[in-house]
Amino acid sequence: MNVVRQFYALTKPRVVQLIVFCALIGMVLAVPGAPTWADTGLALVACAGIWLVAGAAAAFNCIVEKGIDAKMRRTAWRPTAKGELSDWQTLLFAAVLCSLGSWILYAWVNPLTMWLTFATFVGYAVIYTVVLKPLTPQNIVIGGASGAMPPVLGWAAMTGDVGPEALILFLIIFLWTPPHFWALALYRVEDYRKSGLPMLPVTHGNEFTRLQVFLYTLVLFAACLMPFAYGMSSWLYLAAAVGLSIGFCAYGFRLWREYSDELARKTFRFSLIHLSALFAALLVDHYIF
C-alpha cells in the first residue's frame, strides 16, 4: 500500500480534483436543463478519462522537476524527489495513465475531447514544464492556457464542439492563474530562488509582483462578469461573482500596499475559494434559472 500511495501522490490529487471539477462545470453548463441518464453516464466517463490524462501530466511533471522539487520544502516530499520511485517507473505509470485516459475519451466520449485533452497534456507536461518554466518569468501566464482548458474539455465532451461559453470559462481560469500562483511564489520566494526557476518575485522583485497580482485581480473581475453579460447566467451568479471578485481585489490591493507572508498565504487560499465558489455559483444558477 505504501507503493500505491507513492504512485497516487505522483498524480497531484488535489490539483487533479480541481481540474476535474472545472471540467464537470463545463459539462453541466453544456447541457440545457436537467441531464438525462445518458448525459450523466457520458459525463462520468469523460471525468474518468480527463482525470487519468491529467494525472499522467502531473506524474510526468514530477520526473522533469525532481531535482527542483528536492530543493523546495513544498515539494521535497514527492516520491520522485526523494528517489523512492525511479524515472522509468514514473514514466511507465504516466504512459499507462495517458494511454488509458486517451482511449476512454476517444472510444467512449468523442475524438475532439481526446485530442484537446492530449494537447493539454503536451501543453502542460512539455511546453510549460520543459520549455517555459525554466525560461521566462511569464511561464505561469503563457502556461496557464493548459490549466484553463478543463471547462473546454468538459464542454467538448458533451457537445462535440467548443462554443463561446466554453471560451469564456477558459478566459476566467486563464486570468485567475497568475495572481493565484504569484501569491504562492511571494511567500515561497526563497524556495524558488534556490531552485533556480525564474519566477516573477525572483526576477522582478516583491513589489513588482504584488502590483501584478493586484492588476490581474482587476482584469479577472471584468472576465468574471462575462457569463452574465453573455447570457449564460442570471443575477444569482452575478451577485456571487461581484462579491467574490471584490474580495479577491481587496486581497490583491492589501497585498500590494502592505505586504506580509501571512497575507500572501491568505491571498493564495482565497484564490482557491474564489474559483471554486465562482464555478459552484454557475452550477447552482444553471439549475435554478
Domains of the chain as residue ranges with CATH? 1-161 (1.10.357.140), 163-289 (1.20.120)
pLDDT for the residue numbered 246: 98
List, run by run, the mean pLDDT of 10-residue segments along the chain (289 residues). 85 90 93 90 97 95 85 82 89 96 97 97 88 84 89 97 95 96 94 86 95 98 97 95 98 96 97 94 90
pLDDT for the residue numbered 1: 47
Q: Is residue 270 within 8 Å of residue 247, measured between CB atoms? A: yes
45 Cβ contact partners less than 8 Å away, ≥ 6 residues apart: 104, 108, 109
pLDDT for the residue numbered 41: 96
